[in-house]
Structure 1
Amino acid sequence: MNFVYRGLCCLFLLLVISVQLFAQSPRKRQLLNEGWKFHLGHAANAEKDFNYGLSNIFAKTGRAEKTAIAVDFNDAAWRTVQIPHDWAVELPFAFKDNDDLKDHGYKALGGLFPENSIGWYRKKFSVTTTDSGKRFSITFDGIFRDAKVWLNGFYIAANQSGYVGFTVDVTNYINFKKENVLVVRADATQSEGWFYEGAGIYRKVWLNTYDNLHVTDDTFVHTITQADGKAMITVEADVKNDGLQTTEATFYTLIKDRTGRIVAKTDVKRVNVNSNDATPVKQQVLVDKPIWWSIEQPYLYHAEILVSRGDKVIDERNIRFGIRSIDIKADGVYLNGKHVKIKGTNNHQDHAGLGSALPDYLQYYRISLLKQMGSNAYRASHHAPTPELLEACDSLGMLVLDEQRLLNSSPEYMDQFERLVKRDRNHPSVFLWSIGNEEGYAQVNGFGKRIAQTLLAKQKQLDPTRTSTYAADLANVFTGVNEVIPVRGFNYRQFAVADYHRDHPQQPIIGTEMGSTVTTRGIYVKDTVSAYLPDQDITAPWWASTAEQWWPLAAENDFWLGGFIWTGFDYRGEPTPYKWPNISSHFGVMDVCGFPKNIYYYYQSWWKDEDVLHISPQWNWRGKEGQNIDVWVNSNADNVELFLNGKSLGKKNMPRNKHLQWSVAYRPGTLKAVGYRNSKKLVSEVKTTGAAYKLKLTPSKQILLANGSDAVVVNVLILDKNGLEVPDAMQEIKFNLTGGATIIGVGNGDPSSHEDDKILTGQWKRKLFNGHCQVILQSGKKVGNATLNATADGVKGAAVQFAVK
């Protein structure tokens, strides 16, 4: 089954082509993702940590003898990996009665497992002598966590955050005559959250080359809507001079549409920048008849920012942005003046088979699944998202609540917050900032209030075009953070929202976490041994609610801006209400592979203005003939009639924002629902299937870019002889891939599965879980074909071919 928008592949290809169109620039940005050497260190034994902690590496500049930092260290025995890389997903599961281990998915990582908690990376790269005299920096988009970085033996950077990227100038350490050696030590002993976080260099690494006179990374492009329908584009930038002499240059900006056509140009401004100084520049330009960025039409422009000396362009920044306005009032969110009810999902960043190291395509794939459900907003819970996630939201039309990991105003966390806001403020998808989540100790007292005021002041300084919220797990409480936060966030406590609004009618309110129904895809009875829960909207923890308890409140009251359900996808860690053998959560409306559960169709019914009619459960109940089965119908039809083998079981009107339910004595055959929506007939049915007969492979696309990083998701199921999907199949599937691609992960959505997601040696395989599993492939760099073969005992196999070009 393919749940991806049909235009996803074309859109992803258009994005790549767009990047290539704007690639000719005096500034170079080179990916350093390939050819890394990797080895585990040891958090408790310095000898097994390549002498880190024994050798005195900080006594002299560049001194790194007898350690893995040394330029001449022999790493031939280390494993070669490609970035992004998450070593945690490769580790075995380990059961110990420890809450932190449980919350992180029982992976053998952290303080209890010092042998698995340090990761060393080494990368060699060359720099051409023709670039001598240029400046160089290296950008790490994300390392989990507590990273230390050396180049050619010189210690150049440290970064504690596992989520906020960092850039370090390495100009003085570049070797033009020999290979450069970049070394990273990541320490994942300590966690930051209470969910699976991964470990290692799990986001991209870049080598940046540019002129001594250049535009800095924190350029800000934003829009002010004009009354006549025009748009005033404001560009704020710093021109920095890292040269040894004062330099004069010119600065201007071209606004281009998605085809590269110039639609506006600023005046040319002369700048005179002293050595080791920066000059701020602010320019404005009108765009006539702009195409507004919206959820339905996410149109993106480019701001091409140019610095010239004489007739030569010496630096260029290209920033994608959208022309749109956001206004958050007590009665709603207004995008371009149009009221938008927030229909959002919370999400962590891991995916089945991959952990936290997702190829770009997976970001687009996951956002497309949420869009197809009818969601229009995404909360990055509870961390800075990867840049590619925001690019996917920009391109596909998904609003983003962008969140700071921790409510803290110390220098370390203020620096993280500043980097987050500066990095993400150009993305049109970002409509609201969050300064934190559920800080039980600080959120209700003077500490929380003062910390919040400091963070809010910084946010307004860096981005006056947006405002902030805070995810508070409190009812009708107006102390601490809530006294000063512009938009009141509610984590659950949905029945207190009306009282809070009554007492504070001018403060906008948004459900930052709502719902939290726990379900297991394809399971219809509570199973405390396997740790499964029924796949219907009936079970929620004491602190949460079902979908039908919270969504009608938000849908029917304008003082709710809307809300974000917990969660869009299942995620590793935080198993609830069970512990081992669960290693994943049950909260998602989709499982960790992105296969929908039945609650998905509840939200789709009321979030998406398209016809929806869905029957559950499946109709294979051998041995239960004559027993009553609860049948649910999720639909936005006006009324629905249910039939079993042609006999009517009654017609019912559909209550808005609810579902319909029948108790049906099981007989094999066909269960059919017939509904009418605005006089249009809708039909849906489930049938009793025969025995498993043959495999079916459904790829999300069949053309891969030969760039070594493109990816494709292949969903696997089994059909009977009549071509019906067998919903309760559990066979083990074996995979074999030939040609220009590799398998990078497998999964099946079973929250209690302890199978390997990564198979480093031997046969790739995965069991079906209630009829489904998934395999993820990544392209190579060789043009040609790749063929995936899938086999299973007792059934016919299947194959699918991909064009790699």
Structure 2
Amino acid sequence: MTKLFFLRFLAAAWLAAAALSLHAAPRERVRIDDHWRFAYGHAVDAGQDFKHSLRPFFFAKAGYGDGPAARDFDDRTWRRLHLPHDWAVELPFDSRGDTNHGSKAIGRPFPENSVGWYRREIDIPAADQGRRIALELDGVFRDSVVWVNGHYIGREHSGYASVRYDITDYLHYGQKNVVAVRVDATGMEGWWYEGAGIYRHVWLSKTAPLHVGHWGSFVRADISGLQGNQATSARLTIATTVVNDGKTPTRYTLVHEVLDPAGRRVARQTLPAATLAAASQSEANSRIELKAPQLWSLATPQLYTLVTEVRQGSEVVDRYTTPFGIRSIRFDADQGFFLNGQHLKLQGTNNHQDHAGVGVALPDSLIEWRLQRLKTMGVNAIRSAHHPATPELLDACDRLGLLVIDEHRVMGTTPELRHELERMVRRDRNHPSVILWSVGNEEWAIENNELGTRLAREMQTIVRRLDPTRGLTLAASSSGQPEGTYVGSEILGFNYKAQHDIDAMHKRFPQRPVVVTEEGLTHATRGIYAADPARVFSSAYDQPSGGASTASVEQTWRYNIERPFIAGAFYWTGFDYRGETAPYGWPAISSQFGMLDTTGVFKDSGHYLRAAWTQASMVHVLPHWTWPGREGQPIDVRVYTNTDEVELLLNGQSLGRKAIARYTHGQWTVPYAPGELVARGYQGGKLTATQTVATAGAPAAIAVTTTRQSLSADGQDVAVLELTVHDAQGRLVPGADNLLQFQASGPLRLLGMGNGHPGSHEADKPAERYRFNGFGPWSIRDETRAEALADPTRHADPRAWRDPFQWVPDHERPAPAPYAAIRTHFAMPVLAPGELAELFVATIAPGQQLLLNGRPVTPQPAADGLQVLRLDPSTLQDSNELVWHLASPPAGMRATADAAQDGARWAQLRITTPAAPWQRKAFNGHAQLIVQATADPGPAQVTITSPGLQPAIVRLEVKAAP
């Protein structure tokens, strides 16, 4: 063997081994968020919905998906984007829109905006033949229908349920495969902003026929010898669902390995071999003992990993990983909640899942940033109101040490609702952060009757069968009747103490734990200290929102802390959110309930809770101290603190030192004088905290802070830029509303922007908008001579033309001709100022000539192999004729019903509405910009400018993803 031959042999052997290793990967789960195409359809007009559902046999025979659902539909003119995506946040605000949903131009009055189509090609190697392949969608709002290669796969009505489709049997191995998803957001599920589109991740999962089932592993831990935050041992009870999708019975062995938080193996177990019949599944149960386990807690959220291998003989055919935590939870009817045997008051907030600028399509790192903001306030628990939490939010809570009430969407036991409930529990039951399952919220129709009692008990029984380790609750807005949802609940969940006699209910059900699932319900606009209905502003001073059924943030926390039997309270809400605009209607577009605004900036009520919920000494003074024209007038000054005394000084002169009882606040009436207002907090007589608010001058500069200096080049990672308008001395200018303009360069894209203004109608996320004009009927004329193509007599003779898409028997089909003309018509597009009309055409056959209204035109090359002709409306007619003269017409032009794309592959007329500028006004001196890395590494820069202000530049580094 020559040296060269030997080296080639080694290289070939290495490549073969690498290919075998890739193929032998027991399980693959690949995120396919990139390279999607998107276009608006139409909710009521099939003609404007790309003629979807009009094809004969469309829903009667396999593979007859039409319009964008067809495999060979031409989507090259569609918008390219990466998931997650929320198209509702890109729409304008409109007074006809539903105020509860943020007054976006979506819903029944806007059928042209309420349906979206997504398409993507996926490559399935020939080597995948024999594996089971599934498409997994974490969240699509809403009413989504999935098609693969023109085949109908399935439908999911809810926008909050993760869904999985096995698409194995519909794939072309070693060839192109097309996934199409039609999303109809016309209807709503809640009474808050819910977005529209594929707003979470999409995955492609590949397994062997014998594998661990979807969400098929459940690890529960029982702790012994608990002292402090340590335990002597933990018994793991493991339930594993094994699925055999093969055609023959299979003998297999399960092997479990437990990895500690550092990744070290601390236990290994091999179960006895078993046989599983074809097309069946079974559950294997086992136990593993761990010594001195590291417990999951708020301060030390330690995570273990269970690695489960499915073996056939010596071959590992599946490897499934299950992260889990070891901890104990207990709800006590008299003493509240205990984590790892230690009493813990739940300091919680309710949260919807939208954020300023991005709607509900939050990148994972933005989800984590929001949770970190809540932790800064002292939050230790959140409630996913009012639907299951997204998987990445629970992952982040596991890592950060936050507790979760995971909530079902709507009460009921029908097969559809039961399936949603079971999916939530199976998906989320290994998360140590989840401490409570909630099966419903404020079900007014059944809240006080026997049906509510029955449904609550039945739903909690369903959950208990799947997970016996956690408590069960539901949230009630009223109570006290003989029957109702609360009567059937294991743990009593109350929304708002002012709406219940919680003490009486505790006496009535002395054995049942109590948690306040919603509390507060106050209105506050950040930086505003007098209500201004004309501008939809509420005062930020903490006060009840109105009536005896409401209470302030301070009143409610003091109420809870005085009752040890209450496990804790979840404030409504952590963040402001789009929609549910109380106390105002249009033109308000967001709520004002939050402890933080829609961008995550603290309101004063958030600082009260920070004082109540955190230990490090702090003081917070409100309001700001810039009140031109109010010199000498009294200002209500309040101080939130966790110190025991506070002294207030104005321009160096003491206004008094006061003792501050825990969970209360200090209050002074101060005649306004420009200068500095200083609060000093004393603990045990020692100065431990200080805050100064000073009178600001005119806006002079833009200051920027960023959450990240370095981003990962994964197309997902984000940085949050906080922008403030300062005066010449660097002081925040209250009331500043300067227009800020944004520009990015390098491997970075602008993702979204906001400012926390509850009535701002500025664009959140500027994006190009495409719409497509249809063509009239298509016709074809066969010719034997080239000169006949231009014969006006033949052109005008209707008998010379035929429908190229009409089915005719084989014996009636015309003989192939060497020349042909293809004709269609289109109406003059109606363009708004700034819009652009473009005619995209394909090369139908060699030697073609294109004529528009009888005149030859020459399109220019465009992307993806298309040609484009920019149309000038002034040169068009009310009805315009488009004609191709062809030599050697393609075989696909034969008259057959199989060509039922109705010419979409030959021409598309696209009208583009340009994106609005990336700019946003500051609100009370603040705005926010979210930027996202692309998949390319390198230096990046964001420039922020504003007329008359010193600009700001932020430099970031986008580093290659590991």
Which band: TM-score by shorter chain? over 0.9
Q: 1:379 aligns with which of 380, 383, 387?
A: 383
Check if 1:445 corresponds to 2:599: no
| Amino acid across the alignment from 1:540 | S
Aligned counterpart in structure 2 of residue 467 of structure 1, from 461, 471, 474: 471
Q: Does 1:493 align with 2:500?
A: no
8 Å Cα contact 2:618/2:681 also seen in 1: no
How much does 1:177 deviate?
Answer: 3.0
Structure-2 residue corresponding to 1:209: 206
> What's 1:307 paired with?
310
* Cα distance change, pair 281–91 in 1 and its aligned pair in 2 (3 A): same
Tell me the residue number matched to 1:528. Answer: 533
Matched, 1:624 2:630: yes
Which residue of the partner structure matches residue 9 of structure 1? none
CA–CA distance in 2 between the matches of 1:564 and 1:629?
32
Alignment match, 1:118: 115
Name the structure 1 match of 2:345. Answer: 341
Higher Rg: 2
SS at structure 2 position matched to 1:468 = strand
Cα contact 2:348–2:569 (8 A) shared by 1: yes
1:506 to 506, 511, 515: 511
Counterpart CA distance in 2 for 1:409 and 1:398 is: 30
Residues 584-663 of structure 1: matches in 2 within 5 Å?
Answer: 584-663=590-669
Residue aligned with 1:469, SS: strand
Indicate conservation of the 8 Å contact 1:353/1:758, yes or no.
yes
Give the superposition deviation at 1:586: 0.2
Q: Deviations over 1:565-602 (max 9, x none)?
A: 00000000000110011100000000000000011110
Q: Which residue of 1 aligns with 2:126?
A: 129
Distance 1:224 1:450 in 2: 31
1:461-519, Cα deviation, whole Å (9 max, x unpaired): 00000121110001434522222201111111346111221222221111111011110
1:130 Cα deviation after fit: 1.7
1:751 equivalent in structure 2: 758
- Of 691, 711, 723, the residue aligned with 1:684 is 691
What's the counterpart of residue 16 of structure 1? none
Residue ranges of structure 2 left out of the alignment (5+ in a row) = 1-22, 226-230, 768-914
Structure 1 contact 322–428 (Cα < 8 Å) conserved = yes
Which of 183, 188, 192 aligns to 2:185? It is 188
Q: Partner of 1:788 in structure 2?
A: 942
Aligned: 1:95 with 2:95: yes
Q: Is the 8 A contact 2:255 2:308 kept in 1?
A: yes
| One-letter code aligned to 2:206 | T
Amino acid aligned to 1:506: Q
TM-score by length of 2: 0.80
Kindly indicate whether the alpha-carbon contact (under 8 Å) linking 1:708 and 1:778 is maintained by their aligned counterparts in 2.
yes
SS in 2 for 1:459: helix
Task: Summarize deviations over 1:589-618 as a string: whole Å, max 9, x none.
Answer: 000000000111100111112212011111
Query: How many angstroms apart in 2 are the aligned matches of 1:468 and 1:677?
Result: 41
Give yes or no for contact 1:789–1:797 (8 Å, CA) kept in 2: yes
Q: SS state of the match for residue 705, structure 1?
A: strand
Partner of 1:19: none
| Deviation (angstroms), 1:132 | 1.6
Name the residue aligned to 1:175: 172
Displacement of 1:738: 0.4
Indicate whether 1:801 and 2:960 are aligned.
Answer: no
Per the alignment, residue 917 of structure 2 pairs with 763
Q: Return the offset for 1:727.
A: 2.7
Superposition pairs for residues 67-78 of structure 1, below 5 Å?
67-78=67-78
* Residue pair 2:69, 2:150 contacting (<8 A) in 1 also: yes
Q: Judge which range, 652-661 or 158-167, deviates more.
A: 652-661
Aligned equivalents of 1:479 and 1:541: distance in 2? 29
3-state DSSP of counterpart to 2:936: coil
Shift, 1:408, TM fit: 1.1
Question: Aligned residue for 1:60?
Answer: 61
Q: Deviations over 1:645-684 (max 9, x none)?
A: 0111111111221111111101111101112123441211
Q: Secondary structure at the match of 1:266?
A: strand
1:223 aligns with 2:226: no
Aligned partner of 1:708 among 711, 715, 718? 715
Q: Write the deviation string for residues 46-105 of structure 1: whole angstroms up to 9, x where unpaired.
A: 11112234234111111124x111111111111112111111111111103x7xx11001
SS in 1 for 2:713: coil
Query: How big is the shift at 1:720?
Result: 2.1
1:436: which partner in 2? 440
- Note the 1:565-576 alignment, pairs <5 A: 565-576=571-582
| Alignment match, 1:258 | 261
The alignment partner of 2:255 has SS state of strand
Cα separation, 1, equivalents of 2:284 and 2:747:
48
Identity of aligned residues (%): 43
Q: Is the 1:243–1:276 Cα contact (8 Å) retained in structure 2?
A: yes
Q: Secondary structure at the match of 1:391?
A: helix
Distance in 2 between the 1:269 and 1:321 partners? 24
Opposite residue 691 of structure 1, the aligned amino acid is A
**Over residues 711-756 of structure 1, what are the superposed CA-to-partner deviations in whole Å (9 max), with x where a residue is unaligned?**
1111101222222222322101001100011011000000100000
Counterpart CA distance in 2 for 1:517 and 1:157 is 43
- Which one-letter code corresponds to 1:167 in the other structure? R
Deviates more, 1:499-508 or 1:610-619: 499-508
Please say if residues 271 and 279 of structure 1, whose CA atoms lie closer than 8 Å, have aligned partners that are also in contact. Answer: no
- Report the secondary structure of 1:68's partner residue: helix
* Matching residue's letter, 1:376: N
Report runs of 4+ in structure 1 exceeding 6 Å deviation. none
1:144 alignment counterpart: 141
Alignment equivalent of 2:428, drawn from 424, 429, 445: 424
Structure-1 residue corresponding to 2:49: 49
For residues 269 and 127 of structure 1, the distance between their equivalents in structure 2, rounded to whole angstroms, comes to 35
Helix, strand or coil at the partner of 1:189: coil
**In the alignment, what sits opposite 1:236?**
239
Counterpart CA distance in 2 for 1:217 and 1:225 is 27
For residues 749 and 269 of structure 1, the distance between their equivalents in structure 2, rounded to whole angstroms, comes to: 59
Q: Equivalences for 1:24-43 in 2 at 5 Å?
A: 26-43=26-43
Contact 1:38 / 1:80 at 8 angstroms: preserved in 2?
Answer: yes
Q: For this pair of structures, how many residues does the alignment match?
A: 779
Moved more, 681-690 or 453-462: 681-690
Q: Please tell me whether residue 773 in structure 1 is matched to residue 927 in structure 2.
A: yes
Q: What SS is found at the alignment partner of 1:34?
A: coil
- What secondary structure sits across from 1:449 in the alignment? helix
* Structure 2: distance between partners of 1:613 and 1:281: 56
Equivalent residue number for residue 411 of structure 1:
415
Determine if contact 1:516/1:541 at 8 Å carries over to the other structure: no
Aligned partner of 1:290 among 280, 290, 293: 293
Q: Relative to structure 2, which stretch is displaced further, 755-764 or 734-743?
A: 755-764
Residue 279 of structure 1 is aligned with which of 277, 282, 291?
282
Superposed CA deviations along residues 526-582 of structure 1, whole A, max 9, x for unmatched, are 101011011120241434321122111111211111110000000000001100111
Displacement of 1:233 after TM fit?
Answer: 1.3
Comparing 619-628 with 353-362, which one deviates more in the overlay?
Answer: 619-628
Distance 2:667 2:698 in 1: 28
Pairing 1:268–2:271 present: yes
Q: Which residue number in structure 1 is paired with residue 700 of structure 2?
A: 693
| 8 Å contact kept, 2:572–2:593 | yes
Matched, 1:108 2:105: yes
The separation in 2 between residues aligned to 1:215 and 1:648, in whole angstroms, is: 70
> CA, structure 1 residues 273+679, in 2 after alignment: closer, same or farther (shift >3 Å)?
farther
Amino acid at match of 1:249: Y
Question: What TM-score does the superposition give when structure 1 sets the normalisation length?
Answer: 0.95
**Maintained 8 Å contact 1:476/1:497:** no
Q: What whole-Å deviation, never above 9, does each CA across 1:367-409 have from its counterpart, x for those lacking one?
A: 1001110011000000111100101111101100000010111
Contact in 2 for aligned 1:521/1:591 (Cα 8 Å)? yes
Separation (CA, whole Å) in 1 of partners of 2:330 and 2:544:
36
Is the Cα–Cα contact under 8 Å of residues 474 and 493 in structure 1 kept in the other structure? no
Inter-partner Cα distance in structure 1 for 2:555 and 2:24 = 54
C-alpha deviations, 1:99-133, integer Å up to 9, x for none?
Answer: xx110010111112111111111111101112221
